[in-house]
Chains A and B, each alone.
Chain A
């Protein structure tokens, strides 16, 4: 045998000592994982897709992922930021190709379709032994449940409320709306805010995207209507048509909305409020942070949706979730990461930074949320919050975008009547109920 390959005792001892030094150094490294970046040579990767509606989230999520990677040695989360507009498309392609990320941040209204595809991991057994299970609000569990199975984890909650300009109200000498204000109060304030010649409007109506259908639906509940009654579709009931009529009149008759209402989406309703063009808009707490920068925390507040003629109201409850997939390659790593994100500090940091509401009772009761006037309207909406009725059937989410949005746009433009709009929408939704 070639003697070069034989290990002398001295070489052996050198190697042993060297290995010991490396191991000791590495061990010391792990003892204080947050002090420096971790060496993750042996850590198993966890693919995490995160959709980005605005840049704040990139910094925040990068920081949280780094914390996770430094807090343990077995897994390394690799985050992939995807623009929100392409996130769903990209995820569908990945799921169809059998290569989904291990964990993905998605809204609960998408889960139905992925659940229908048989792609989503059932987390029920993991949740049973999860330490914070009982601390999560029941409604939050409802948003991520399919039958008796929990198929996702709620990262943040949203409820819809009304943003309004407090400084403009003072200018006009009007009283601030109380939490139990009515449709009449809403219209009166919207009209007072509107001065079309000065490019000022009372209400930033949303005409684009999924929520252009959901917002008038919330008003319909205030008129005693419902999307489903006893399991039957009731979206075109008389109460619903009347409510939609009243809602559309804000644009068609009272003209308290900007002329662009039919195509105004999330960006537009937030921007027009931020620029002082509109003085009220309907949205969830997700734009609170942006408005604090745009109009200043002292110049706006939030209030629950107004009470309707039926002395009722509803705010649809949505969850931003962390969802795992059956075909994910690193389920244990994904679960560890999901659990980490829902722990006290991370949950507080994520929701507070983004102006969202944490699903855990012990966190939402902290002063960061409970005492913030900009969040008051949303927290006051919890008693009448309901899980979005559009989560009932997996096909409805897509139908809202493909059929519901063009129909509501036609109605906002006065091209079709509220009755026709809801009748046609009901026919489309009915097809998906089989």
Chain B
């Protein structure tokens, strides 16, 4: 008698293929996620916790939970509001001018001319120099008594009396913004130049054949195609500049009379001069919130990057 062996039913896997695929994906993400957790999420959590305590290092006996006490204090602190306003001037003044001049430089460097490679390399120099060194260089350039800027202006006959660029409240912010613009132009130049080189030449040729003017080609081809880069570059730069305290710290230390005090230098001052880590924590949290709100609004207004892509 012949027996017929029936095929045994394959056991159902413990984890479905879809779940397995998902799990593998998460496993790949895990190391990066853990790093982010340890270096970003945990410190933010600790800063938030710190901001809810009276945490003055030289008064350990007064360490206690005070809820939103530091935030109420902050709301009544005129220097905080001044520093927030100064931060806005510092950030938007710097980034807007960096963008305009960086874009102009990128358009120029996108043209063919002799020595272009050398000029492109030289353009990067301000970006390569560390921020602290840039601050020191410009502090000396601005020095009213023996700085080069005043000397040149006087020799050219454009200036009669020496100007104390960094010591005059009305000029100090403009002077540090100018330095930051000088330093940040190469960032936009390189980013936008990379974008310009990716724009197909055929588009310009077709537009040219159709009779589009230079401005028309710029407006309808260059700008729309560069938009993702512009959005990412400006958003990144705004966040960096908000947090960037080196230049002001070196050049004016927030002075004169808080004229260049931005929120990040004020936070540093509270933490390391007054050792008031609770208040400095509250300032950091507010700075974080301001940046989160701003970034969200900015990406919404510019319709983000993903949508464009």
* Interface members, chain A 59-115 (any B CB < 8 Å): 88-89, 92, 95-96, 112-115
CB <8 Å contact, B58 and A406: no
Chain B residues in 8 Å Cβ range of A405: 255
CB <8 Å contact, B257 and A406: yes
Closest to B56 in A: A395
Query: Which of A260, A271, A272 has the most chain B CB atoms closer than 10 A to its own CB?
Result: A260
Q: How far is the CB of A421 from the nearest CB of chain B, in Å?
A: 10
A contact residues, total (Cβ < 8 Å): 41
Chain B residues in 8 Å Cβ range of A413: 168-169, 256-257
Closest to B154 in A: A199
CB <8 Å contact, B274 and A263: no
A259's partner among B56, B162, B272 (CB-CB below 8 A) is B162
What is the bound-complex CA distance between A399 and B269, given in angstroms? Answer: 10
What is the bound-complex CA distance between A112 and B275, given in angstroms? Answer: 12
CB <8 Å contact, B252 and A263: yes
Known: A260-B143, A409-B256, A413-B256. A402 touches B58 (CB 8 A): no
CB <8 Å contact, B145 and A261: no
CB <8 Å contact, B57 and A113: yes
- A394 interface residue per 8 A CB criterion: yes
Chain B residues in 8 Å Cβ range of A402: 269-270, 273-274
What is the bound-complex CA distance between A118 and B261, given in angstroms? Answer: 31
- B146 interface residue per 8 A CB criterion: yes
- The digit string for B273-296, where 1 denotes a CB below 8 A from any CB of A, is 111100000000000000000000
What is the bound-complex CA distance between A116 and B60, given in angstroms? Answer: 8
CB <8 Å contact, B255 and A399: no
CB <8 Å contact, A259 and B255: no
- The digit string for B143-178, where 1 denotes a CB below 8 A from any CB of A, is 111100000000000000111101111001000000
A260's partner among B79, B144, B258, B276 (CB-CB below 8 A) is B144
Chain A residues in 8 Å Cβ range of B241: none
Chain B residues in 8 Å Cβ range of A18: none
- A208 interface residue per 8 A CB criterion: yes
CB <8 Å contact, B257 and A415: yes
A207's partner among B59, B256, B275 (CB-CB below 8 A) is B256
Chain A residues in 8 Å Cβ range of B164: 258-260, 262-263
B258's partner among A199, A208, A395, A406 (CB-CB below 8 A) is A406
B272's partner among A89, A118, A260, A268 (CB-CB below 8 A) is A89
What is the bound-complex CA distance between A275 and B147, given in angstroms? Answer: 12
Known: A259-B164, A263-B255. A199 touches B57 (CB 8 A): no
Q: How far is the CB of A331 from the nearest CB of chain B, in Å?
A: 21
Chain A residues in 8 Å Cβ range of B166: 260, 263
- A20 interface residue per 8 A CB criterion: no
- The digit string for B7-37, where 1 denotes a CB below 8 A from any CB of A, is 0000000000000000000000000000000
Chain B residues in 8 Å Cβ range of A207: 167, 255-256
Q: How far is the CB of B175 from the nearest CB of chain A, in Å?
A: 11
Chain B residues in 8 Å Cβ range of A260: 143-145, 164, 166-167
CB <8 Å contact, A117 and B57: yes
Q: How far is the CB of A49 from the nearest CB of chain B, in Å?
A: 15
Chain A residues in 8 Å Cβ range of B172: 263
Query: Which of B164, B255, B269, B274 has the most chain A CB atoms closer than 10 A to its own CB?
Result: B255
Q: How far is the CB of B262 from the nearest CB of chain A, in Å?
A: 14
Chain A residues in 8 Å Cβ range of B254: 406
What is the bound-complex CA distance between A88 and B275, given in angstroms? Answer: 11
CB <8 Å contact, B167 and A395: no
CB <8 Å contact, A263 and B167: yes
Closest to B272 in A: A89
CB <8 Å contact, A395 and B59: yes
Chain A residues in 8 Å Cβ range of B270: 402
CB <8 Å contact, A92 and B167: no
What is the bound-complex CA distance between A264 and B167, given in angstroms? Answer: 8
A394's partner among B58, B143, B162 (CB-CB below 8 A) is B58
CB <8 Å contact, B256 and A262: yes
Chain A residues in 8 Å Cβ range of B168: 413
- B253 interface residue per 8 A CB criterion: yes
CB <8 Å contact, A395 and B162: no
Q: A259-B164, A262-B255, A406-B257 are in contact. List 15 more A-B contacts (CB 8 A).
A: A112-B58, A199-B145, A258-B144, A260-B144, A263-B167, A263-B172, A263-B255, A271-B146, A277-B145, A395-B274, A398-B274, A402-B269, A409-B255, A413-B256, A415-B169
Q: Which residues of A contact B (CB under 8 A)?
A: 88-89, 92, 95-96, 112-118, 199, 207-208, 258-264, 268, 271-272, 275, 277, 394-395, 398-399, 401-402, 405-407, 409-410, 412-413, 415
Can you show 12 pairs from A to B with CB atoms below 8 A apart?
A116-B57, A117-B275, A207-B255, A208-B253, A259-B161, A261-B167, A262-B167, A263-B166, A263-B167, A275-B145, A398-B273, A415-B169
Q: Which residues of B contact A (CB under 8 A)?
A: 56-60, 79, 143-146, 161-164, 166-169, 172, 252-258, 261, 269-270, 272-276
